[in-house]
Amino acid sequence: MEDGNGGQNLPTKTLDSDLDPNLQKKHQSMLDRLSARHQTRLDSSLTRLDSSLTRRSDLSNSSESTSSFLSRFSDSKRSIESQLAESRQIASSDPARLKSHLDDISSSISELEKLVAENSYFLPSYEVRSSLKTISDLRQNVESLTAELVPKKKFTFKNKATAKKEPPKELEIEKSNSVSTKTSNNFVIRDSPGFRNKANEIFEKKFRGSDIGEFTLSDLDSCEVRLSGCFDALFINRLKNCRIYSGPVTGSVLIEDVEDCIFVLASHQIRIHLAKRSDFYLRVRSRPIIEDSNGVRFAPYCLEYQGIEDELEAAGLGEETGNWANVDDFKWLRAVQSPNWCLLLENERVEKVYVANLETGNEGS
């Protein structure tokens, strides 16, 4: 210390000697400050050490906080679940409040997620995983509820969105629905021919001459539909518990949102979206595809009526290509078999379906 001062003292020689004690004082205060800093550093590292020691030694304490976390977690989970259960009621009694109610649920889920994150450093990894799983399940519930309850389109059965499994996209789609109804209001689109909004009925239609074009089946519940003769395109939308038998479609068939149905179809292209628990008996020139579907089963075409062979031939569907079994699942882009569909075993298939030759069918509405 004296040495260090020596260097500094040299120039001070030229200064007045009464400044010297002053300088000494300054020097002393600096030393004091330095040692004070050192002390605080020591102190803080000690406390750090201390706290880490307590943490390590107090394992019992940590398990206790695990259990307290778990009880907090399950409390909030329960309250969120009850809120979720309420929302259905709110949707019917007070739809205006529904939006904010659902938002509240979402924010409590986020809160819960934060809780997990904050406590994750001491939680056993199993608890972290299962908590996160619970949270994502809750999210899924909210999302499907939102999709189910929020879009209030007229004349719509409510189960459309429940089958969808892409939450972020759903929001976009719903937004677009509300926006776009406006555009279609500006411009009234004529209805295409078809059977719509019916329950517990049997429909028949034979396509001839000027009838031939596209045809729509939508919003049918527990109906049977028999279509014969060639036609250009078939659109199927929102069917429940129906049986659809169709002669050859020269263009494509587009199926969306069906549940517990049986389809017997022949077409050049077949696309199946949002189908649940349904059987498809197909003759198809290209590979049929499914998307967002599950529990769907496939078998070869089995429809019979007078003249069907000629009609199939004329539509280019005379030969069995075997493509009914070559299903592409757009939600399962892997080499292993998709869990969403399977082939119908022979003993599970329906017998050949005979539909009487329909000379005069009731016209599509």
Q: Nearest 5°: phi and psi at 276?
A: -130, 140
Local structure of 192: helix, strand or coil: coil
CA gap 324, 284 in Å, rounded: 6
Helix or strand (DSSP H, E) at 331: none
Min CB(63)–other proteins separation in Å = 44
Q: Smallest gap, in angstroms, from Cβ of residue 62 to other proteins?
A: 43
CB-nearer residue toward other proteins: 88 or 152:
152
| Nearer to other proteins (CB atom), residue 101 or residue 331 | 331
* Residues contributing to the site for other proteins (CB under 8 A): 166, 169, 172-173, 176-177, 179-181, 183-184, 186-187, 189-193, 210, 212-214, 216, 218, 232-233, 235, 237, 251-252, 254, 268-269, 271, 273, 285-287, 289, 291-292, 316, 328, 330-331, 333
Shortest distance (Å) from residue 37 CB to other proteins: 54
Q: How far is the CB of 139 from other proteins (least distance, A)?
A: 20
- Identity of the residue, 164 or 277, whose beta carbon is nearer to other proteins in the bound complex: 164
How crowded is the C-beta side of 56, counted as CA atoms within 13 Å?
5
Compute CA distances 337 → 129, 322, 327, 330, 348, whole Å. 28, 17, 10, 12, 20
Q: Give the residue ranges of DSSP H helices in 166-279.
A: 167-186
Report the candidate in 253, 233, 241, 170 with the shortest Cα–Cα distance to residue 200. 241
Compute the least distance from the CB of residue 220 to other proteins, in Å.
14
Closer residue to other proteins, CB minimum distance, 112 or 254? 254
Question: What residues pair up with 271 in beta bridges, in sequence order?
Answer: 254, 289
Instruction: Identify which of residues 105 and 163 has a Cβ nearer to other proteins in the complex.
Output: 163
Encoded tokens for 350: 């329906």
Nearer to other proteins, 107 or 176 (CB): 176
Structure tokens at 128: 């972290």
Amino acid making up residue 43 = D
Q: Give the residues across from 244 on adjacent strands.
A: 225, 263
CB of 276 to other proteins, least distance (A): 17
Look at residues 139, 10, 120, 125 and name the one whose alpha carbon lies nearest to residue 65.
120
Contact 236, 228 (CB under 8 A): no
Say whether 238 sits in a helix, a strand or coil.
strand
Comparing CB distances to other proteins, the nearer of 123 and 329 is: 329
User: Measured from the CB of residue 239, what is the shortest distance to other proteins in angstroms?
Assistant: 14
Nearer to other proteins, 307 or 316 (CB): 316
Least separation, in Å, of the C-beta of 168 and other proteins? 10
Give how far the C-alpha of residue 275 lies from the chain's centroid of Cα atoms, to the nearest Å. 15
